[in-house]
Amino acid sequence: MSLPTVRYLPGTRIVASLAAGALLLEDAQTSYRLDYEQLILCCGAQELLLPFPGWTLPGVTGAGALQALIKSGASVAGERVLIAGSGPLLLASAATARAAGALVSGVYEQTDRYQLINFGVGLLRWPGKLAQAFKLFSTRYRWRSHVIEAMGDRRLEAVRIRQGDAEAVIACDRLACGFGLVPNTVLAQHLGCSLEDNAVAVDRYQQTSQTGIYAAGECTGVGGSELALVEGEVAGLAATGKVEQAQALFTHRAYWQRFARHVKEHFGLRPEIRRLARVDTLICRCEDVALSVLAEEQGWNAAKLQSRCGMGACQGRICGSIARELFGWSLPEPRVPLVPARIETLMACSEKDMS
């Protein structure tokens, strides 16, 4: 009887790396060590949230987070939903909300009309994406528009929007506001992999700066599912020694890399988006640290010493990306454990095993 070639471990999280070539894993029942010779990282991306007054009110989420909530069973039927931020994810989020019975009040994109027209014309090089854009398009889509503040007492009640030079207050039950995606590099950094442009740096075979460790998908740069799939295939072939087959995919990968650059070029954030927060707006939600506390600091170490910014439950995953956008700080160094873990999981490994 032959052994299966794939071992699937659902509901499993990586807690830390141990000695070279080993990871500490944890699931709902137990923890264990996983040894490897070749490792492929497919850590995905996280949503970029930028602070504005009221962004911590109940009812305010990211655009991608709204999709995740709906797919996990949250009911939005009959609710007034407003989508805002930047990037193609806004239209996808709006479509998901409408399909779930939500009343989408509007989709507000911060990019201007000129950039959007050029983006649409450029999609002629990717006919499938052009067809997808037409399918998702909404008559409530507005350009050069962004949230100024979310309003409400104990939860969201309305949103103040700026469209061009005009402002309006729109009543709503939910606000989904996201400004694109950023690569999730936490595990890669923990393993010592180099970064480039805030993404995991890889060579043409998707190998990182660490021999035997490959990376594919959004953690190497946000580019969509098509690029992630072909990168994963290149990485898998290269990791198993099938170099010629990997090379055969380079042209197809380059095709989708051009699409990724096309999106990035036309959905860059306008300067005013980084100035939405007021002095009393929270930047670090876990530790209740406001913009005024961080504005004079020089980086993460000083911020932690003075305010505990980035030391809460999310370990800087949210406020780290925010601080990079607002202040130009480098990302915080990952700390062990990488995720909340049971004490018995940590006790199972000796100090010398932890890297």
Q: Considering the domain boundaries, does residue 28 fall inside one?
A: no
Q: Are the C-beta atoms of residues 45 and 183 closer than 8 Å to each other? A: yes
Number of domains in the chain: 1
Q: Considering the domain boundaries, does residue 88 fall inside one?
A: yes
pLDDT of residue 110: 97
Q: Considering the domain boundaries, does residue 300 fall inside one?
A: no
pLDDT of residue 295: 86
In tens digits, what is the pLDDT along the chain, a chain of 355 residues?
455 688 889 999 999 998 789 999 999 999 989 999 999 999 999 999 999 999 999 999 999 999 999 999 999 999 999 999 999 999 999 999 999 999 999 999 999 999 999 999 999 999 999 999 999 988 899 999 999 999 999 999 999 999 999 999 999 999 999 999 999 999 999 999 999 999 999 999 999 999 999 999 999 999 999 999 999 999 999 999 999 999 999 999 999 999 999 999 999 999 999 999 999 999 999 999 999 999 888 888 888 888 888 888 888 889 999 999 999 988 888 888 898 889 888 887 655 455 4
Q: How many CB atoms lie within 10 A of CB 347?
A: 9
Tokens linked to 249: 């995919």
Global model pTM greater than 0.85: yes
The DSSP line for 23-61 is: EEEE-SS-EEEEE-SSEEE---EEE-----TTTTSTTEE
What range defines the domain where residue 106 resides? Answer: 45-276
pLDDT of residue 1: 46
Give the closest residue to 76 by CA, choosing from 148, 181, 176: 176
Q: Considering the domain boundaries, does residue 17 fall inside one?
A: no
Q: Considering the domain boundaries, does residue 89 fall inside one?
A: yes
Question: What's the CA gap between 108 and 184, in Å, rounded?
Answer: 26
Q: Which residues lie closer than 8 Å to 44 by C-beta, 6 or more apart?
A: 184, 217, 218, 219
Q: Considering the domain boundaries, does residue 165 fall inside one?
A: yes
Q: Considering the domain boundaries, does residue 5 fall inside one?
A: no
Question: What's the CA gap between 251 and 230, in Å, rounded?
Answer: 10
Q: Considering the domain boundaries, does residue 85 fall inside one?
A: yes
Bridge partner list, 108: 84, 142
How many CA atoms within 13 Å lie on the side-chain side of 254? 7
Say which CATH number the domain at 76 has.
3.50.50.60
Give the closest residue to 308 by CA, choosing from 326, 323, 294, 329: 294
Question: What's the CA gap between 127 and 92, in Å, rounded?
Answer: 18
Measured at the alpha carbon of residue 111, what is the angle toward residues 197 and 149, in degrees to the nearest 5?
100
Tell me the one-letter amino acid at 222. V
Tokens linked to 200: 């995991």
CA 17 to chain centre: 22
Question: What's the CA gap between 160 and 150, in Å, rounded?
Answer: 6
pLDDT of residue 3: 59
The DSSP line for 293-321 is: HHTT--SHHHHHHHH-TT-STTTTHHHHH
